[in-house]
């Protein structure tokens, strides 16, 4: 007989746990209450003791898996198991398919337990099979722009959809008026769910306009879609509403979300749903700035002596970062955060220093290491700090302390060929500066159309701290410096 | 050790950690060898039952468990000082108290399996239900103690009126609370009230050093026992891992209470050798080495060392076998616990069902049945 053990809710309402370490192997004999596996929940890391005595038949999840409560953890062949002759075993006795395990019919000392090859964390299986990292696969090689040196910089954004692709519902006159939620008792709702009937499509005959049991069964016989008053609208498929069970489509692969990717997902979710935010964009002619940077580079190379340490190279991104930081002196509210107390009162904290967060696409996901007190750094020092930060992030050596405490963040999506993007402001910050690609574009220059190098800079902002005008002024200050680099002397 | 208000003051101690008696006391004269053997068996059983319950929670059979590991001496020493007539108000970790009072082990687990709102008949063992609201039981206890006072004053007259024989045994109230509950308003009100009326109550505070993750030192600038002086009654710190000392101190406090000398606060200085509950991860806040420090002061090991000269290996083996058997029984009984019928709460609120309640029960049943297709 085979007993399967399912992950219990270990802490009053937990949904999932991560398999940290298996303490048993298939084929091993376990005693009652012998520790089986170490798991980590949102509350605690705990060892789960065995509820059965017997031989471990199979482990159903691998170390590192994030498994929902109720998932099968392992199967144990308990003492009453039939002789492993493989004959006459009823269907009920058939062992569940193992993820990690061995068949009970194997004689002792036969095939050793096989383990599923471990997949690197945070990587979808398709990418895992291909050489190189997922990030390598996804990143187009940037065009040779001045910011190519920082090609690892990644988006902290959702790209703006092109108008043609807009999925906003059409506001045509025939749209159905909003319907009130259908009235039905919980037992009737459950019946409807079991039968796959959409209550909104059922004609109520019960008291006070409620849907009766008979209404649901009648609708189920007729087929709910035909009875929908507004057949033009697709029937809703809500998670957990029975739609999934009814669907005959093969389920897609589910990819666990863990580690850096999970942190990013949660941070973005908080940003999207707790920070009222908006974005302003501005296109700026950076030809002069790029010429200046190129000149400095040439001079730097000419002055370099063999054996001497090279001075940090001032890149376009370093120059832009310096402008972003220096412009904060006149626009301190862009370097601030919104605080809400337990009693519901609110405050804005204006940071005393600028910790510049820089979004970087590292192999393990999007991270935002910081340059502490970036406001105190000269342009070369800032350039050096940026180069170091990117090298560290790419090598996966960013110390944890350097991942916290950003007061404003820069994200360079231009390396992906994106022109502009409305990013999500990170929780605890007032603004996110997104840099688009630098392109050669026909532009009006001193009254004539010329080919110029232009880019779009976007500032997403927490609308509780900054309004559109304040954000536009801050963005304007940055743009003015990039268009006319000597203006940097007027800042800070 | 880095927590606790004064790390080296364990309070009254009669049995040293190495099992030897403190020189000035003949501990065996206070409890007796048989008494100490009984305490050992009860503590060992409590530890095994506690471990079995923790495992059941990890296996999904209990919603939650509140481990008592490390506090066996504080609980067994104190409950064994109470007479059957004394009334006990536990907090929520006093499983050893409940079990030693005669409550079947599985009864405590019903609450934590989520199949009862209370658990047991408080009158059956003079043991109130668990109080999950911190320190609320201290007020219940003082109220009960005031009732005992009234009984003592009015009892003979009422007994005569009712024509029943009087002469009830004098009783006191023993109420358990933790170091965290000492910071609650309810506890402090209870102290004031108990002092005002000289109530026959013993406040037994198990200072296990951690109020979930808050160290006792942060909650009090003075030893907790010293707070009693401010309320006007005696406070005593006792080594909570010394079952002999706990028994002795609690016996004397209950004796005072029964003869009208009023309340006492006992601070049993002990240690929670596990998580606050199974939902807690103490490794996140306990300083390294603290558990090891207290493991050397384990309450059961101490008695085992003390009994080694007078008990043989066979006796110890018997004790372990009995404790293991009790744990196995607890497991079987827990897994066999039936879920209560959905309308069980109609049976447990009103002694006599009213017409209204009857109608509600019928309506509820009808509603339930409407789920059947």
Residue-wise pLDDT tens for chain A (492 aa)? 889 999 998 877 788 888 989 999 999 999 999 999 999 887 778 899 999 999 999 999 998 888 989 999 999 998 764 444 443 333 344 455 544 444 333 334 434 433 343 434 444 444 333 444 444 444 343 333 333 333 333 334 444 444 443 344 444 444 444 456 788 888 888 888 888 888 888 888 888 888 988 888 888 887 644 444 444 444 444 444 444 445 556 778 888 777 667 777 888 888 888 899 999 999 999 999 999 999 988 888 888 777 666 677 889 999 999 999 999 999 999 999 999 887 888 999 999 999 999 998 776 667 788 999 999 999 999 999 999 998 888 877 777 778 788 999 999 988 888 999 999 998 889 999 999 999 999 999 889 999 999 999 999 999 999 999 999 999 999 999 999 999 999 886
- Optimal mutation site among A48, A49, A52, A186, interface B, most CBs of chain B within 10 A: A49
- Picking from A7, A12, A187, the nearest residue to B64 by CB comes out as A12
ipTM score = 0.76
**Residue B152 shares a structural domain with residue B181:** yes
Question: Which residues on chain B are in Cβ contact (under 8 Å) with A48?
Answer: 58-59
CA end-to-end span of chain A, whole Å? 76
**Residue B356 shares a structural domain with residue B306:** no
Q: Is residue B6 part of a domain?
A: no
Question: Which residues on chain A are in Cβ contact (under 8 Å) with B57?
Answer: 10
**Residue B138 shares a structural domain with residue B155:** yes
Contact state of B60 with A44 under an 8 Å Cβ cutoff: no
Which pair of tokens denotes residue A22? 């298996």
Which pair of tokens denotes residue A310? 């090279």
User: In terms of pLDDT, which residue wins out, B211 or B9?
Assistant: B211
Q: For position B166, what pLDDT does the model report? A: 62
Q: How far apart are CA B47 and CA B274, in angstroms?
A: 12
Which pair of tokens denotes residue A217? 């069964």
Contact state of A46 with B58 under an 8 Å Cβ cutoff: yes
Contact state of B279 with A6 under an 8 Å Cβ cutoff: no
Rg (CA), chain B: 22
Which residues make Cβ contacts (< 8 Å) with residue B281, sequence separation at least 6? A43, A44, A45, A46, B275
Mapping DSSP to helix (H, G, I), strand (E, B) and coil, where does residue B282 land? helix
Mean pLDDT estimate for chain B: 91
Q: Is residue B1 part of a domain?
A: no
Domains and CATH numbers, chain A: 2-101 (2.40.50.100), 186-246 (no CATH), 261-303+312-490 (3.30.559.10)
Question: Which residues on chain B are in Cβ contact (under 8 Å) with A5?
Answer: 59
Residue of A nearest to B282 (CA): A44
**Structural domain range at position B54:** 27-340
**Residue B347 shares a structural domain with residue B336:** no
Task: Kindly report the number of other CB atoms within 10 A of residue A444's CB atom.
Answer: 10
Which residues of B touch chain A, with CB atoms under 8 Å apart?
51-52, 55, 57-61, 63-64, 275, 278-281, 283-284, 331, 367, 370-371, 373
Contact state of A12 with B275 under an 8 Å Cβ cutoff: no
Q: How far apart are CA B142 and CA A145, in angstroms?
A: 80
Report strand pairing: B173-178 vs B201-207.
parallel
**Residue B226 shares a structural domain with residue B354:** no
Contact state of B371 with A11 under an 8 Å Cβ cutoff: no
Contact state of B58 with A8 under an 8 Å Cβ cutoff: yes
Which of the 8 DSSP states describes residue A103?
-
Per the DSSP assignment, residues forming a β-bridge with B151 are none
**Residue B360 shares a structural domain with residue B307:** no
Q: For position A23, what pLDDT does the model report? A: 94
Contact state of A49 with B367 under an 8 Å Cβ cutoff: no
Q: How far apart are CA A175 and CA A168, in angstroms?
A: 13
User: What's the average model confidence in pLDDT over B212-234?
Assistant: 94
Contact state of A46 with B371 under an 8 Å Cβ cutoff: no
Contact B25, B14 (CB under 8 A): yes
Q: For position A303, what pLDDT does the model report? A: 80
Tell me which H or E stretch contains A266. helix A259-274
- What's B301's domain CATH number? 3.40.50.970
Per-residue pLDDT reduced to its tens digit, B44-97: 999 999 999 999 999 999 999 999 999 999 999 999 999 999 999 999 999 999
* Count, residues in chain A: 492
**What distances in angstroms separate CA B115 from CA B67, B107, B127, B371, one per listed residue?**
19, 11, 20, 22
Which residues make Cβ contacts (< 8 Å) with residue A395, sequence separation at least 6? none
Per-residue pLDDT reduced to its tens digit, B158-214: 777 777 666 677 899 999 999 999 999 999 999 999 999 999 999 999 999 999 999
Which residues make Cβ contacts (< 8 Å) with residue B328, sequence separation at least 6? B52
Q: Is residue B9 part of a domain?
A: no
Which pair of tokens denotes residue A10? 């270990």
Q: Is residue B22 part of a domain?
A: no
Per the DSSP assignment, residues forming a β-bridge with B176 are B204
User: Residue A12: CA atoms inside 13 Å, Cβ hemisphere, count?
Assistant: 11
Which residues make Cβ contacts (< 8 Å) with residue B15, sequence separation at least 6? B21, B22, B27, B242, B243, B244, B245, B302, B303, B306
**What is the pTM (predicted TM-score) of this model?**
0.56
Q: For position A149, what pLDDT does the model report? A: 36
**What distances in angstroms separate CA A238 from CA A31, A242, A244, one per listed residue?**
43, 8, 9
- Picking from A12, A33, A194, the nearest residue to B63 by CB comes out as A12
Residue of B nearest to A33 (CA): B55
Which residues make Cβ contacts (< 8 Å) with residue A1, sequence separation at least 6? A77, A78, A80, A81, A82, A93
**Residue B242 shares a structural domain with residue B354:** no
- Optimal mutation site among B59, B64, B325, B370, interface A, most CBs of chain A within 10 A: B59
Per-residue pLDDT reduced to its tens digit, B292-342: 999 999 999 999 999 999 999 999 999 999 999 999 999 999 999 999 888
Strand blocks (E) in chain B: 87-89, 173-178, 201-207, 210-211, 214-215, 235-239, 264-269
- The answer on pLDDT for B24 being more than 80 is no
- Picking from B61, B279, B367, the nearest residue to A11 by CB comes out as B279
Question: Which residues on chain A are in Cβ contact (under 8 Å) with B371?
Answer: 187, 190
Which pair of tokens denotes residue A138? 């996804």
From B130's Cα to the closest Cα of chain A, the distance in A is 19
* Count, residues in chain B: 373
From B215's Cα to the closest Cα of chain A, the distance in A is 19
Contact A63, A37 (CB under 8 A): no
Q: Give the residue from A123, A118, A17 showing the smallest Cα distance to A68.
A: A17
Q: How far apart are CA A56 and CA A101, in angstroms?
A: 8
Q: Is residue B18 part of a domain?
A: no
What DSSP letter does each residue of B116-167 carry, written as one string? -SS-S-TTTTTBPPP--STTHHHHHHHHHHHHHHHHHHHHHHHHHHHT----
- Optimal mutation site among A8, A41, A69, A192, interface B, most CBs of chain B within 10 A: A8
Which pair of tokens denotes residue A70? 């109720």
- Picking from B278, B367, B371, the nearest residue to A10 by CB comes out as B278
Long-range contacts, A345-353 (Cβ 8 Å, 24+): A346/A464, A348/A464, A348/A465, A351/A407, A353/A407
Residue tagged 């506890």 (tokens): B187
**Residue B253 shares a structural domain with residue B353:** no
Give the active site residues of A. Answer: 463
Contact state of B58 with A48 under an 8 Å Cβ cutoff: yes
Which residues make Cβ contacts (< 8 Å) with residue A36, sequence separation at least 6? A5, A22, A23, A24, A30, A47, A48, A49, A50, A73, A74
Q: Give the residue from B48, B29, B99, B66 showing the smallest Cα distance to B244.
A: B29
**Residue B346 shares a structural domain with residue B324:** no
- Picking from B61, B279, B370, the nearest residue to A12 by CB comes out as B279
Contact B179, B241 (CB under 8 A): no
**Residue B351 shares a structural domain with residue B303:** no
**Residue B298 shares a structural domain with residue B353:** no
**Residue B251 shares a structural domain with residue B317:** yes
Q: Give the residue from A410, A421, A416 showing the smallest Cα distance to A143.
A: A416
Q: Is residue B5 part of a domain?
A: no
Contact A337, A370 (CB under 8 A): no
Backbone φ and ψ of B226, nearest 5°: -70, -20
Q: Taking the C-alpha atoms of B224, B229, B235 and B239 in order, what is their torsion angle to the nearest 10 degrees?
A: 40
Q: Is residue B262 part of a domain?
A: yes
Count of domains in chain B? 2
Residue of A nearest to B112 (CA): A12
Question: Which residues on chain B are in Cβ contact (under 8 Å) with A17?
Answer: none
Which of the 8 DSSP states describes residue A144?
S
Q: For position A449, what pLDDT does the model report? A: 92
Q: For position A187, what pLDDT does the model report? A: 85
User: Residue A362: CA atoms inside 13 Å, Cβ hemisphere, count?
Assistant: 24
Q: Is residue B3 part of a domain?
A: no
């Amino acid at each position: 007989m085979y007993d399967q053990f399912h992950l219990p809710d270990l802490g009053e309402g937990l949904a999932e746990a991560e398999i940290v370490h298996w303490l048993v192997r298939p084929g091993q004999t376990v005693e009652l209450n012998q520790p089986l596996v170490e798991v980590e929940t949102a509350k605690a890391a705990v060892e789960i003791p065995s509820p059965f005595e017997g031989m471990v038949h199979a482990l159903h999840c691998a170390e590192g898996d994030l498994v929902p409560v109720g998932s099968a953890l392992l199967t144990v062949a308990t003492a009453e198991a039939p002789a492993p002759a493989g004959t006459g075993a009823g269907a009920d006795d058939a062992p569940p398919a193992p993820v990690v395990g061995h068949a009970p019919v194997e004689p002792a000392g036969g095939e050793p337990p096989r383990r599923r090859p471990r997949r690197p964390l945070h990587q979808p299986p398709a990418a895992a099979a291909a050489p190189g990292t997922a990030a390598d696969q996804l990143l187009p090689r940037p065009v040779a722009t001045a910011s190519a040196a920082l090609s690892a910089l990644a988006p902290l954004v959702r790209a703006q959809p092109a108008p043609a692709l807009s999925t906003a519902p059409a506001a045509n006159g025939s749209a159905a008026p909003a319907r009130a939620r259908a009235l039905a008792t919980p037992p009737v709702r459950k019946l409807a769910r079991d039968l796959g009937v959409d209550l909104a499509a059922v004609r109520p005959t019960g008291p006070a306009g409620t849907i009766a049991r008979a209404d649901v069964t009648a609708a189920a016989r007729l087929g709910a879609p035909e009875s929908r008053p507004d057949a033009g609208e697709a029937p809703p498929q809500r998670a957990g509403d029975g739609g999934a069970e009814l669907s005959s489509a093969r389920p897609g692969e589910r990819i666990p979300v863990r580690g850096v990717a999970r942190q990013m997902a949660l941070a973005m979710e908080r940003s999207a749903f707790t920070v009222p935010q908006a974005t302003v964009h501005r296109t700026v002619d950076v030809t002069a700035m790029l010429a200046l940077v190129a000149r400095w580079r040439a001079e730097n190379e000419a002055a370099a002596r063999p054996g001497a340490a090279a001075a940090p190279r001032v890149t376009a991104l370093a120059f832009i970062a310096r402008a972003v930081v220096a412009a904060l002196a006149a626009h301190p509210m862009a370097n601030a955060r919104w605080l809400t107390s337990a009693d519901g009162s609110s405050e804005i904290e204006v940071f005393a220093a600028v910790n510049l967060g820089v979004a970087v696409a590292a192999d393990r996901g999007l991270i935002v290491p910081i340059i502490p007190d970036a406001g105190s750094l000269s342009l070369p020092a800032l350039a050096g700090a940026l180069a170091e930060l990117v090298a560290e992030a790419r090598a996966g050596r960013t110390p944890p302390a350097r991942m916290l405490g950003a007061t404003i963040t820069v994200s360079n999506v231009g390396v992906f060929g994106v022109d502009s993007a409305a990013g999500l402001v990170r929780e605890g910050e007032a603004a996110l500066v997104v840099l688009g690609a630098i392109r050669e574009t026909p532009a009006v220059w001193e009254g004539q159309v010329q080919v110029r190098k232009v880019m779009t800079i976007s500032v997403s902002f927490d609308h509780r701290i900054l309004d559109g005008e304040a954000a536009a002024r801050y963005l304007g200050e940055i743009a003015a410096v990039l268009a006319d680099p000597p203006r940097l002397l007027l800042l800070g | 050790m880095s927590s606790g208000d004064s790390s080296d003051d364990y309070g009254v101690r009669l049995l040293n950690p190495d099992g030897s008696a403190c020189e000035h006391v003949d501990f065996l004269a206070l409890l007796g060898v048989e008494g100490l053997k009984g305490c050992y068996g009860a503590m060992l059983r409590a530890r095994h039952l506690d471990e079995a319950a923790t495992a059941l929670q990890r296996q999904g059979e209990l919603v939650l468990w509140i481990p008592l590991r490390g506090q066996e001496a504080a609980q067994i020493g104190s409950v064994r000082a109470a007479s059957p007539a004394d009334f006990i108000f536990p907090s929520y970790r006093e499983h050893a108290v409940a079990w030693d009072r005669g409550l079947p082990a599985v009864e405590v687990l019903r609450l934590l399996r989520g199949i009862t709102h209370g658990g047991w008949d408080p009158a059956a063992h003079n043991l109130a239900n668990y109080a999950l609201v911190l320190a609320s039981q201290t007020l219940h206890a003082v109220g009960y103690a005031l009732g005992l006072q009234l009984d003592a004053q009015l009892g003979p007259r009422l007994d005569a009126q009712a024509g029943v024989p009087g002469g009830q045994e004098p009783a006191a109230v023993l109420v358990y609370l933790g170091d965290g509950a000492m910071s609650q308003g309810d506890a402090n009100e209870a102290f004031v009230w108990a002092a005002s009326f000289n109530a026959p109550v013993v406040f037994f505070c198990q200072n296990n050093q951690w109020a979930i993750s808050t160290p006792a030192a942060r909650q009090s600038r003075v030893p907790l026992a010293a707070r009693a002086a401010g309320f006007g009654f005696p406070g005593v710190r006792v080594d909570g891992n010394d079952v002999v000392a706990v028994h002795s101190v609690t016996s004397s406090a209950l004796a005072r209470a029964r003869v009208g000398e009023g309340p006492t606060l006992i601070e049993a200085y002990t240690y929670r050798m596990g998580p606050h509950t199974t939902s807690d991860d103490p490794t996140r806040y306990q300083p390294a080495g603290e558990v090891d420090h207290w493991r050397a002061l384990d309450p059961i090991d101490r008695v085992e060392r003390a009994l080694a000269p007078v008990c043989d290996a066979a006796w110890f083996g018997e004790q372990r076998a009995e404790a293991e058997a009790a744990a196995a029984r607890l497991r079987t009984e827990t897994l066999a616990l039936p879920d209560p019928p959905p309308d069980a709460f109609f049976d447990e609120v009103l002694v006599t069902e009213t017409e209204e309640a009857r109608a509600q029960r019928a309506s509820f049943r009808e509603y339930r049945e409407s789920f059947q297709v």
